[in-house]
Amino acid sequence: MRLMLLLLLTVPLAHAESRLTGTVVSAKGEKMAGVTVSAKAGTITTSVFTDKAGNFQFSPLPEGSYRVWAQTLGYQTARTALDLSGDRRLDLKLARNSDAEQTFRQLPGNLALDSLPEASDDDKRMKQLVRNGCTSCHTASYPLQHRFDEAGWNAIIELMKNANVYGSYMAKERGKPTGILDHHQKDLAAYLARARGPNGSPKIVMEPRPAGEAARVEIREFDLPLDPDAGLPANFVQNDGSDWSLGTPSTLIPGWGVHDAWLDDAGQVWFTCNIPNKRTSLGRVDTRTGAVKLFMIPAKSGLAAQSHGMTRTPDGMLWFNINPGRGGVGRVDPKTEKIDVFIPPEGMSPTGGATTVDYDGKGRIWVSAPDGVLRFDPKSEQWTEYKTPSYKLATGTGVTYGAAADRAGNGYWAVMIHDIIGVADGESGKASEIKLAPLKDELARARKADIEFYKTYSQPDFNNPLPYAQGPRRMGTDKNADVLWVGNSWGASLARVDTRTHAVSYVALPRRMQPYHVHVDSRHRPWTNLWGADRVMRYDPATNAWTAFDLPTRGAEPRYISVHEAAGEPVKVVLPYFRARKIAVMTLRD
């Protein structure tokens, strides 16, 4: 199947470049380190951080008109505009917020959660339910930036226990509300009213601002255009999360969407789109100009076929899942833009679930299927399927989430509801399972009546977890070692699986931050995107140390991370913002 439609959205080409530098100080004239400074021209926003002397420096920027702003938690945003034509130095001054609510509104999701009370076991139990049960549709900073009394929080929970991850009201389709929220509704409403009610506010938890390596990065964000078929008014204005003083937005901004993304050898970003639309299955962003090129593969529905997962193989090819009517995989050559689509034979499961694509050390492609995982051999064009042994249990149906493959030719997939990692033996063709351990502290805190309820609880989908669930979501293998790293969204940890022995150990994320996907770099370090924290974390197994890299957008909700390493070039980390409709490329600078 070949490409049917192309659409190019152009942005004027940039030519001359100049340097923008400056200093950020407080109202009292104190130099401020770790402040985020952003400059936007057209559809491209570039952000850097101040060093310990309060200085900032952008890489050379195309000359033109810019909006510039500086912000950090606890301070009002400083804004200005300038014409960059020749090197410029800019001094910015930040004034403190006038009250705590202004600061709370600026918080990313992880700090909003950290600020909830946990003085007693009951508080800790409720906080865990909020962390897992109230963040499936959006980051926690969205609801928590508002204050409601107990009746108000009760009304919110009443709505959300009948909604799915996209915000659609599902009471009729499900026939009953989500059991966890329904069971704990009264206690949750009382807890949230005490924490974020009209008569008080919790003590805000803060963290040190970025420093060292985390403050040397430069992050370039590319806006994706709005969908012209969405019927939006010409004067449509959106909060895109770039100004923290406006709070965290929670909207699927009408557009083509972005789920997974990778850089090609020419430095252009390719992305998948899993939102129904008429124009794109796959897209590419020119990182020099911000121009977006759309590629449409027609589906039987008359819309563009939807994609979701993506990976890049060592030969530079990009592979993605695609669903023109029956799910399969696609391959695009970034140099020629030639697209090929391969569909599994009838009688075999299609691709599906929360689809992820990966490659093994033998050159074969692995992709999620609803009931397991599929393997595709590009040379022979042969498909092999592996089924989840514990697909249907009394606790729910084990739809596959992430998938990965190792250098020895074996495959893996996450059964999020059941806390199981599926294992596909590439030689024997057999499937087995690895069971992840529940969270002991949360299990110990659960009340006896709750435990009895949980025994009878059947999850409607993977976004309604038990409080002691691990929630293995998306994963990545070390292509230079025999290790699989799994992002446990509900358990707030990375599971480390020895792919030879299947022994499992756990690395907890600091302050119970929740991982989504994992990419392992050439130095054996797993990187993970924190979908509810506007942050990227990197773990170094050699030193047992975590490094946090903050993103400049609130409510970004990146659901994927890819790391681009090329000889003679700085490391670049690609982060598609599912909720905010942007793609970020973070460059690690000297």
Q: What is the pLDDT of residues 315-342, one digit of tens each?
A: 999 999 999 999 999 999 999 999 999 9
C-alpha closest to that of 256 among 303, 326, 288: 303
Cβ neighbors of 38 (< 8 A, separation 6 or more) are 45, 46, 47, 68, 69, 70, 71, 242, 552
Average pLDDT, the chain: 93
Tell me if residue 230 falls in helix, strand or coil: helix
The token pair at 74 is: 């606890």
Give, in degrees to the nearest 5, the angle at Cα 434 between 477 and 521: 10
The whole-angstrom separation of Cα 253 and Cα 580 is: 7
Write down the pTM of the prediction. 0.95
pLDDT of residue 354: 87
- Whether the CB-CB separation of 381 and 365 falls below 8 Å is answered with no
- E strands, 290-332, where? 292-296, 306-312, 318-323, 328-332
Q: Is the pLDDT of residue 367 over 50?
A: yes
- Write down the pLDDT at residue 443: 95
DSSP assignments along 18-39, one per residue: E-EEEEEEETT--B-SS-EEEE
What integer pLDDT is reported at residue 365 of this predicted model? 98
Kindly report, residue by residue over 531-581, the tens digit of the pLDDT: 899 999 999 999 999 999 999 999 999 999 999 999 999 999 999 999 899
pLDDT band at 176 (very low <50, low <70, confident <90, very high): confident
Distance of CA 41 to the CA centre of its chain: 25
Q: What is the pLDDT, as a whole number, of residue 254?
A: 66
Q: What pLDDT digit, counting tens, does each position of 74-127 carry?
A: 999 999 999 999 999 999 999 999 999 999 999 999 999 999 999 999 999 999
pLDDT band at 13, cuts 50/70/90?
very low
Please state whether 132 falls in left (phi above 0), alpha (psi between -120 and 50) or beta.
Answer: alpha
Residue range 355-365, pLDDT digits in tens = 999 999 999 99
Q: What percent of the chain has pLDDT over 90?
A: 84
Rounded to 5 degrees, φ, ψ at 384 are -135, 140
The pLDDT score that the predictor gives to residue 253 is: 61
Residue 12: predicted pLDDT: 45
- Indicate if the pLDDT at residue 488 is higher than 60: yes
Q: Strand, coil or helix: what is 102?
A: helix
Residue 552 confidence (pLDDT):
98
Confidence band of 136 (pLDDT split at 50, 70, 90): confident
Mean per-residue pLDDT, 368-389:
98
Which residues, including other chains, have CB under 8 Å from residue 244's CB and lie 6 or more apart? Answer: 71, 73, 77, 105, 106, 554
Instruction: Give the pLDDT confidence score for residue 199 in this predicted structure.
Output: 84
Q: Please report, rounded to a whole number, the percentage of residues in the chain having pLDDT higher than 70.
A: 95
The helix (H) or strand (E) run that includes residue 125 is helix 121-133
**pLDDT for res 15:** 65
- Indicate the domain borders of the chain: 101-195
pLDDT of 1 above 60:
no
Q: How far apart are CA 162 and CA 524, in angstroms?
A: 42
The set of residues, in sequence order, having a beta carbon less than 8 Å from that of 107 and lying 6+ positions away, is 73, 115, 141, 144, 145, 204
Q: 19: number of CA atoms within 13 Å, CB side?
A: 6
Residue 508 has pLDDT above 50, yes or no: yes
Quote the DSSP letter at residue 268.
Answer: -
CB atoms within 10 A of CB 193: 20
| Cα–Cα distance, 404 to 276 (Å, whole number) | 26
> For the chain, what's the residue count?
590
Specify the amino acid at residue 251: T
370 DSSP 8-state letter = T
* Cα angle 469-473-478, degrees, rounded to a multiple of 5: 120
